[in-house]
Amino acid sequence: DGGITQSPKYLFRKEGQNVTLSCEQNLNHDAMYWYRQDPGQGLRLIYYSQIVNDFQKGDIAEGYSVSREKKESFPLTVTSAQKNPTAFYLCASSLRDSRAIYFGEGSWLTVV
Amino acid sequence: RKEVEQDPGPFNVPEGATVAFNCTYSNSASQSFFWYRQDCRKEPKLLMSVYSSGNEDGRFTAQLNRASQYISLLIRDSKLSDSATYLCVVNLMIYNQGGKLIFGQGTELSVKP
């Protein structure tokens, strides 16, 4: 099936630990995105990438890092520098400069 | 001023009602527009794109007014299954960086029997 796969779906992290969320797409989309959503809040853009080996900071990039070594993959690392990491993380992809983006099912990160 | 603003919710309506969602955007350079639907604890899913001439998909009608920088979504004959949060989304083209999608806060709809 074509789509966007995020893993893990649920992740618990101890304070001070880095964690990496995986995002893979087989839609042959050029652009990929990471958003964060807090309860009752809208989506906020963390990072995005329009092409392989290039990415830009979104509105809330501090405490996060990404890489785009392959077109299909855009992993997000939540570092210990992110002070409030508990949230719902959504990966998305689109054709470059597309009219719409499509989301994976999301990853729930909880700091314990 | 927020880049994309939606009606604050929630909207509570009976089945069969017609409900309208409104959205305004601040950047006149915005180039494309969408409505997404998000169910509780799920990912947003594209409901429909919004075209300048207005467009309809079954019970759903979307309209765009570029002069007023205003987008709307109308749901006719609402069903229980329409209960969700509706997100207004604007694609802003940024020179040398491609498109940047900006999401509204969403308006929650609850359709009651």
CB contact under 8 A, A42 and B97: no
Q: Residue A112's pLDDT band (boundaries 50, 70, 90)? A: confident
Does A40 score more than 70 pLDDT? yes
State the average pLDDT over residues A89-95.
93
For residues A32 and A46, the answer to whether their CB atoms sit within 8 Å is: no
State the average pLDDT over residues A27-40.
92
What pLDDT is stored for residue B98 in this prediction?
A: 65
Distance between CA atoms of residues B10 and B8, nearest Å: 7
What pLDDT is stored for residue A57 in this prediction?
A: 93
Q: Is B2 on the interface with A (CB under 8 A)?
A: no
Amino acid letter, residue A34? W
Nearest partner of A32 among A46, A18, A11, judged by Cα: A46
Closest Cβ opposite residue A50 in set B42, B49, B98: B98
Set of chain A residues whose Cβ sits within 8 Å of the Cβ of B49: 99-100
Does A97 score more than 70 pLDDT? no
Q: Is the dihedral of CA A11, B37, B5, B48 positive or negative?
A: positive
What pLDDT is stored for residue B95 in this prediction?
A: 66
Closest Cβ opposite residue B103 in set A43, A94, A96: A43
For A14-23, write each residue's pLDDT tens digit.
Answer: 988 999 999 9
State the average pLDDT over residues A34-50.
91
Residue numbers of chain B with a pLDDT score lower than 50: none
